[in-house]
Amino acid sequence: MMDWEKIAAQTPIPGFVGKVMHSDSMSFVLWEIAAGTLLPEHAHLHEQVVHMLDGTFELTVDGRTETLSRGQVAAIPSNARHSGRALTDCRILDAFCPVREDYRNGLTSSVISGTANG
């Protein structure tokens, strides 16, 4: 059993506050994102599933932009270039497979922007 309440929040870039946990084969990040915050374009080998818990988020994947709102889910394929923008305050649960080893040492701006190794 994992408990979000027992995980320390991290702020890798202004406007993004996240909590990370890992299972044997996946990583999860519970995000709180301030309205107007930009997610820099990046890619990673991990497949990513974005579950919108609250708010409205504009997500661009391989040049195609969609607006996600509460209850919607988007899948980002491995190595797809993606970026985004919080149109309102958002709560998002991201799931990654395989495990994000680069997240084990904390969320940093280089990890979020895709300039870190991992």
- The pTM assigned to this predicted structure is 0.91
Q: How confident is the model at residue 25 (pLDDT cuts 50, 70, 90)?
A: very high
**Distance of alpha carbon 4 from its chain centroid, rounded?**
15
What size, in residues, is the chain? 118
Which pLDDT band, with edges at 50, 70 and 90, does 118 fall under?
very low
CB 99 within 8 A of CB 59: no
Query: Confidence class of residue 113 from pLDDT cuts 50, 70 and 90?
Result: low
Give Dmax over CA atoms of the chain in angstroms. Answer: 38
